[in-house]
Amino acid sequence: MADTVTDIKPEKKNMATESAKSGAVLVVGGGIAGIQSSLDLADSGYKVYLVEKTPAIGGTMAQLDKTFPTNDCAMCVISPKLVGSGRHLNIDLITNAEVMGIEGESGNFTVKVKRHPRYVDAEACTGCGACVQNCPVNMIIYPVERDEVDIRKNDRDVVLPILEENGCGEGSLMPVLQAVDRHYGYLPKDVITYISGKLSVSLADIYNIATFYNSFSLVPKGRHKISICMGTTCYVKGAEKLMQKLCTDLGVEPGGTTEDMRFSVEAARCIGCCSLAPAIMVNDKVYGRVKLSDLSGILKEYQ
Amino acid sequence: MSNKYTQQLDSLEAVGLSSLYPGKFRISVGMATCGLATGAGEVFNRLGEELKKTGFDAILSRTGCLGFCQMEPVVDLFIPDGPRLTFVEMTPEKATDFIKILTEGKIPTDSLLCVHQRETLLGDNFKEYGSASADTVADVPLYTEVPFFAKQNKIALRNCGVIDPVSIEEYVARSGYRALLEVLSSRTNVELIADVKTSGLRGRGGGGFPTGLKWEYTLKTEADQRYVVCNADEGDPGAYMDRSVLEGDPHSVIEGMILGGYAMQASMGFVYVRTEYPLAVERMTVAIEQARGNGFLGENIFGSDFSFDLQIRQGSGAFVCGEETSLMHSIEGVSPEPRNRPPFPSESGLWKKPTNINNVETWANVPALVFKGGSWFSGIGTENSKGTKVFSLVGTVRNTGLVEVPMGITLREIIFEIGGGIPDDKEFKAVQTGGPSGGCLPASLLDLPVDYQRLAEAGSIMGSGGMVVMDETSCVVDIARYFLDFTNDESCGKCTSCRDGSELMLNILTRITQGHGKPEDVDFLLELGAAVTDASQCGLGQTLANPVLSTIRYFREEYDAHIERAVCPAHACKELVTYSVDVDKCTGCTLCARNCPTAAISGKVREVHFIDQGNCTKCGLCFDVCNFNAIVVE
C-alpha cells in the first residue's frame, strides 16, 4: 500500500440563491480544539471531515495528567469526546492524513488530502495490543531499560559516599544534588546520569528540579561565587550600580563566569543583611555597606 | 521520676550561669551574619590576642545579634557585680584600647552606647545587676532610655545577643527547656493545645492563622505518623528576623518544635532553611546535636513515652518554596510547585501525612508562652493580634535593625521613635511592609496601629515583618516594577494567571518607568491585578499584585506624572532623568571622567567637564563619586 490522495468534494445541495454553498466543513487537526469544534458543528447539522496527521485523534491533551485550573483528570474530560466524535454520524474521521492543498472559494472548497498507509485494517482492529507484544523487532514505542551509566573512578569516589550518607529513600534527591553541587560547583552530566540510575529517579525529573532552583547550575561555575543582594533594601540603596560596576570590571554579564573561571557573578534574592545594605556575598562571606570603591579590594582577596 | 530531670536541668543551668556571669569580666561579641559582615570576626580575634598578650583575666564569648544592626559590631562588657555595658561600632583598633583601659583597672567609655542595670528574663522577670563601677558610667543612658530599645518587648528575640547560640547550658540558664519538662511531666497534649489557643498566638510567617487552631486540626486527623515543620525559607527581600533567631537562639526553635511535636503527637520534625543562610544551618546543626546529646531529642524524652527527632533540610534558592505546599514538595524531593488547598497540610501534608508548618518566629514564641502561660501572652498586643512581632526596620531610616514590639504600636512610633526618622534631612515617602506580597503605605497612614487586620485593611499585609522605609528619592512606580520583576522571576509557572499576568504587568510598569506609558495603563493594571489575585492557586500569585495596587491607591499622582508628562518626580527612573554638569561647581578634578564606564564624560584637568548625552547610560556613577555636588540630576 502506498499513500493515497483523495479529493474531498462535499455533495452539493440544492440551494437556490447562494448557488455553491455546501453544508460541509473540514476541520484540520484532531486535538481537543478540533474535536470540540467538530462535535459542535456536527451537532448543529453540518457534515464534518476531521483530518488528523497522527494515527489517532486526541492530541496533547490525551497525554496530560491534569488540566488547569481545576486539576481535573485530562483523560476523563477528553475520552467521552473521543468516543463521541468516533461514532457521530455527521463526522468522518480521516486520521494518519495530511492536507495537501485547498482550492475553491468560501462555501465551496475542494481539499486534497494525503492519507498515509496504516498497514492495519482500521475497521477490523479492536486495539487489543497483542500485535505489539508479539512483534519480534525491538518495541521502540516503549522506553528501553536504561543501563547503569558508568562514570570515572574519581567521580564515583565522590558520589558513592554522598549517596551513602543521604540514603536512597524518599526525599534524598535534594540533599544529594546539594552535596554534588557543593563538591563540583555545578551538576556534571555524567554524575547526574549515574545518580539517576542509583536513585531510580528519571533524568527528566532531576532536570525539572535542577532547573527549578536558582542555586543549581548545569554548567561549570567560577571558583568564587559573588552574589550581589538584590533584596528590596539593597535595591533601594543602589545594588544595581554595584552589579553594573562589577560586571564592567570583570567583563561578564550578570549570571556569567569570567573566562579564567575565577569569578561567577549573580544576583541573589536577599541574603538577609538588610540593615547593612547594600550587601554582597562572596562564597559564604558577607560584606555589608559595600561602596563602589570597595569592590576592587574585595576581589583581590580571592584568587 | 521528673526529679532526676529537674536535677539535669539544674546542673546545666549552673554551668550556664557560671559562663554567663563568671564572677569576673566577661566580654561578648555579637557574631551573627550582620556582625561578621562589618568585621566582628576581626574584633573578636583582636580582643582574644590582646587578652592573651596582656594576661588580663576576662572571659571572651560570642553571642548572636542584639538587633541594633546599624551599630555593629557590638561588644558587651559584663562587669563583675556591676552593670552590663553595650559598646557599638567597634573596630580592631578600638578593641586594643578597650583591653588596655581594662588592664589599667578602669572602665572603657569610648563608643559606649548604653548601660543595662538589669537583665529582662522571660516575661516580666528581671535579674538585677550589681552597682560596681556604676559611678563611671553614671551619665551614660540606660538601656531603657535608648530610643531604639525603649519601646521594645523581646519575647521571640529574648536570648538573641545575650547568650552564646551554641551553648545549651546558657539557654537553660535563661529558663530554657523548663517549659518542656513541665509539659512532659504534668500536662496532656490537649491541655497544651488549649493553652496555645488561649494565648491567641497567630502565625508569624505572613498568613496570621491562629497557631493553636492549626495544631488542633493536625491532631484531629487520624494518622499513624504526623510531621512538624519549621519554615525557615525566609525569602521576602527585606526581612531577616528568622535568620537572626536561628543564628542567635536556635534552641528556642528546637524547644518550640518539640513542644509542638508533643502537642500534635508527631515523632518527626524538619527545619527547612534556605541555602543563603549558611551560618544559620551551621548553628542549628550544632544545637540539634546538643539537644540530642542531652536527651531532649530522641527516644522517650524526659522519661516520658514521647519520642521526637529533628532533621535539617536546605532549600536551593527558590522563593516559592516558602509557600507551604511547595515547601513540602521540596522536602519530598519532587518538583516544588505549589498545589491547591484543600486538602490542607493538617489533613494531607508530607508524604500524605498530617503536617503542621510554622514559621521560625512562631516556634520561638512557643516555649515562652508555655513557660509563662497563654493568658500572660494574650495580655500583650491588641484584641485580635496578640503578643509581639519582630520587624526588620531597614531602608532609609537612621536606626536600622531588628525590633520586637507589641502589636498595635503605630508605624510612626516604629519609624520615627525607634528608627529615629529619615537621615540627611529627607522627607519620609512610604514604608513597604510584607515584602513582595505587601504594599506601600504613605505618610498619611503613619498613625496606623500595626496588627494583622489594620494592615490588611490598608491594602498591605503583616507578612514576615519586613519594613522597608523609603525617602523622597525612591520612586514608587519603580519599586512596584522591582517587586513585579521579582515575582515574575520567581513564579513557578504553573498558573497561567501568575506566569503571564506578572509578565504583562511587568511590561506595562517597565514601559511606564521608561516614559512610554499609555493613559489606559493604570486602569488596565487594576483590572489585571484583580484577575491575577482571583485566578492563582498559591499565595505568591494571589498577592503579587499588592505592591502595584497599593501604590496606585496611594500614589496615583506619581503614575500620572510618569504617564502624562514622562517625568519621574523622585528622579529615580533612569530613562526619565538626565545627568549634566553644573558649570559653576565643577572643579575639573576628572574623578567623574575616570569613573564613567562608557567614557561619556570629557574634559581636561581643571576645566569644566561635559557629559555626552548620547553615550550616557545614566548609571549615576558620576553623581555618586563627585565630591563637589557638581553633577545635576533632572
Q: How near does any CA of chain A get to the CA of B473, in Å?
A: 9
Q: What is the CATH number of the domain that holds B594?
A: 3.30.70.20
A16 plus A77 within the same structural domain: yes
Indicate whether B4 belongs to any domain.
Answer: no
Looking at the structure, tell me whether residues A28 and A104 fall in a common domain. Answer: yes
B572, part of any domain: no
Q: Provide mean pLDDT across the span B145-162.
A: 91
**Among B471, B504, B519, which residue terminates a domain?**
B471
User: Do B527 and B510 sit in the same domain of this protein?
Assistant: yes
B435, A232 Cβ separation under 8 angstroms? yes
CATH number, domain containing residue A72: 3.50.50.60
Distance, CA of B468 to CA of B182 (rounded, Å): 40
**What's the pLDDT score for residue B316?**
86
Q: Residue B429: what pLDDT? A: 94
User: Does B203 fall in a domain?
Assistant: yes
Claim to verify: residue B191 and residue B328 sit in the same structural domain: yes
Helix residue ranges, H only, B303-388: 324-332, 360-372, 374-378
Average model confidence (pLDDT) for chain B? 91
Percent of chain B scoring above 70 in pLDDT: 99
Least confident of A125-139, A155-169, B191-205: A125-139
Per residue in A77-87, pLDDT (tens digit) is 999 999 999 89
B266 and B181 within one domain: yes
Specify whether B247 is located in the same domain as B176.
Answer: yes
With residue B41 as reference, give the H or E element that holds it: helix B40-54
Can you give the pLDDT at residue B528? 95
With an 8 Å Cβ cutoff, are B394 and A275 in contact? yes
Looking at CA atoms only, how far is residue B329 from chain A in angstroms?
9
Residues B599 and B507 in one domain: no
Q: Write the burial class of residue B139 (CB in 10 Å: 0-12 exposed, 13-18 middle, 19+ buried).
A: exposed
| Residue A238 C-beta-side C-alpha neighbours within 13 Å | 16
Position B348 confidence tier, pLDDT thresholds 50, 70, 90: very high
Domain membership of residue A128 (yes or no) is no
Residue A125: pLDDT above 90?
A: no
Q: Are residues A66 and A9 in the same domain?
A: yes
**Are A26 and A59 found together in one domain?**
yes
- Kindly determine whether residue A69 and residue B495, on different chains, have CB atoms separated by under 8 Å: yes
> What pLDDT score does B270 carry?
96
CATH number assigned to the domain comprising residue B502: 1.20.1440.230
Reported as a single tens digit per residue, the pLDDT across A1-15 is: 456 777 776 655 444
C-beta atoms of A212 and B470 within 8 A: no
Residue of chain A whose Cα is closest to the Cα of B331: A171
Contacts of A177 in chain B (CB under 8 A): 316
Q: Are residues B550 and B628 in the same domain?
A: no
What's the CA dihedral at B519, B523, B524, B529 to 10 degrees?
140
Q: Pick the residue with more confidence: B254 or B110?
A: B254
How many residues are present in chain B? 634
Query: Both B353 and B207 in a single domain?
Result: yes
Q: Cis bond leading into B343, ω under 30°?
A: yes
In a shared domain, residues B58 and B180: no
Nearest Cα residue to A74 out of A86, A87, A59, A55: A59
Give the pLDDT of residue B74. 93
**Helical residues (DSSP H) of B450-514, grouped into ranges:** 452-457, 476-490, 496-513
Do residues B186 and B257 share a domain?
Answer: yes
Claim to verify: residue B137 and residue B177 sit in the same structural domain: no
Question: Is residue B5 in a domain?
Answer: no
Listed residue (B473, B422, B467) closest to B577, CA to CA: B473
Q: What is the pLDDT of residue A129?
A: 77
Which of A177, A212, A247 marks a domain boundary? A212
- Flag whether A125 is in a domain: no
Q: Rounded to the nearest 10 degrees, what angle do helices B178-186 and B360-372 cross at?
A: 60
* Shortest CA distance from A72: residue in chain B: B340
Residue A81 lies in a domain: yes
CATH number at residue B424: 3.10.20.600
**pLDDT for residue A285:** 87
- Is the pLDDT score of A142 beyond 50? no
Indicate if A291 and A207 belong to the same structural domain.
no
The grid coordinates of residue B216 equal 488542633
> A146 in a domain, yes or no?
no
Residue B244: what pLDDT? 92
How many domains, chain B?
A: 5
Residues of B in contact with A288 (CB under 8 A): 34, 37-38, 72
What distance in Å separates the CA atoms of residue B191 and residue B179, rounded to the nearest whole number?
13
- Per-residue model confidence as pLDDT tens digits over B218-249: 999 999 999 999 999 988 888 899 999 999 99
* Cα–Cα distance for residue pair B563/A90, rounded to 1 Å: 55
Domain membership flag for residue A17 = yes
pLDDT tens, position by position, B452-500: 999 989 988 888 888 999 999 899 999 999 999 999 988 988 888 999 9
- Asked if pLDDT for residue A143 goes beyond 50, the answer is no
Task: Please tell me the distance from the alpha carbon of residue A228 to that of residue B170, in angstroms, as a whole number.
Answer: 36
Of A100, A118, A136, the domain-final residue: A118
Dihedral angle sign, alpha carbons of residues B130, B136, B141, B143: negative
Q: How many CB atoms are closer than 10 A to CB A153?
A: 7
Domain that holds residue A168: 153-212
Q: Rounded to a whole number, what is the distance in Å from the CA of B17 to chain A's nearest CA?
A: 31
Q: Which of A233, A237, A247 to mutate to test the interface with B (most CBs of B within 10 A)?
A: A233
- What pLDDT, on a 0 to 100 scale, did the predictor assign at position A263? 92
Shared-domain flag, residues B174 and B275: yes
Tell me which residue of B321, B196, B317, B209 sits closest to B259, measured CA to CA: B196
Q: pLDDT tens-digit profile of B459-471?
A: 888 888 889 999 9
Model confidence band, residue A273 (pLDDT cutoffs 50, 70, 90): confident
Domain identity same for A8 and A46: yes
Distance CA A202, CA A140 (A): 18
Q: Is residue B446 part of a domain?
A: yes
B11: in domain: no
Q: Do A272 and B33 touch (CB under 8 A)?
A: yes
Q: What is the pLDDT of chain A when averaged over all its residues?
A: 84
A178 to B275: CB separation less than 8 angstroms, yes or no = yes
Residue A10 has a pLDDT of: 62
Instruction: Return the higher-pLDDT residue of A130 and B320.
Output: B320
* Helix orientation angle between A203-212 and A189-199, rounded to the nearest 10 degrees: 120
* Local confidence band at A139 (pLDDT 50, 70, 90 cut-offs): very low
Residue B9 lies in a domain: no
Beta-carbon separation of B468 and A232 below 8 A: yes
Q: Specify the DSSP element, H or E, that contains B470.
A: strand B466-471
Shortest Cα–Cα distance, A203 to chain B (Å)? 12
Distance CA B366, CA B353 (A): 23
* Structural domain range at position B519: 476-565
pLDDT of residue B391: 94
Select from A180, A212, A244 the last residue of a domain.
Answer: A212
Number of domains in chain A: 3
Q: In this complex, do B330 and A174 lie within 8 Å of one another by their Cβ atoms? A: yes
Give residue B542's pLDDT.
92
Q: What is the pLDDT of residue B238?
A: 83
Residue-wise pLDDT tens digits, A236-249: 888 888 898 899 88
Segment B522-577, tens digit of pLDDT:
999 999 999 999 999 888 999 999 999 999 999 999 999 999 999 999 988 888 88
Residue of A236, A266, A290, A295 best to disrupt the B interface, most CBs of B under 10 A: A236
Q: Are A75 and A13 found together in one domain?
A: yes
pLDDT of res. B296: 95
Residues A69 and A172 in one domain: no
> From CA B467, how far away is CA B448, in angstroms rounded?
14
Mean pLDDT for the stretch of residues B574-595:
89
- Chain B residues 390-429 with a CB less than 8 Å from chain A: 392-396, 400-402
Q: Please give the single-letter amino acid code of residue A83.
A: V
pLDDT of residue A124: 87
Domain stop point among B322, B348, B376: B376
Residues B189 and B329 in one domain: yes
Nearest to A236 among B330, B339, B474 (CB): B474
Are A193 and A233 in a shared domain?
no
What is the CA B179 to chain-centroid distance, rounded? 26
Q: Do the chains contact at B394 and A269, CB–CB below 8 Å?
A: no
User: Which whole number is the average pLDDT over A168-192?
Assistant: 87
Q: Please report, for the domain that includes residue A250, its CATH number.
A: 3.40.30.10
Task: Write the DSSP symbol of residue B70.
Answer: G
- B272 shares contact with chain A (CB less than 8 Å): no
pLDDT attached to residue A152: 79
For residues B67 and B240, give the distance between their C-alpha atoms in angstroms, rounded to a whole number: 11
Residue A54 and residue A10 share a domain: yes
> Is B156 a member of any domain?
no
Q: Are residues A99 and A201 in the same domain?
A: no
Query: Cell numbers at residue B173, please?
Result: 540558664
**What percent of chain B shows pLDDT beyond 90?**
67
Q: What is the pLDDT of residues B66-123, one digit of tens each?
A: 889 888 899 999 998 889 999 999 999 999 999 999 999 888 988 999 999 888 777 5
| Nearest-by-CA chain B residue for A244 | B619
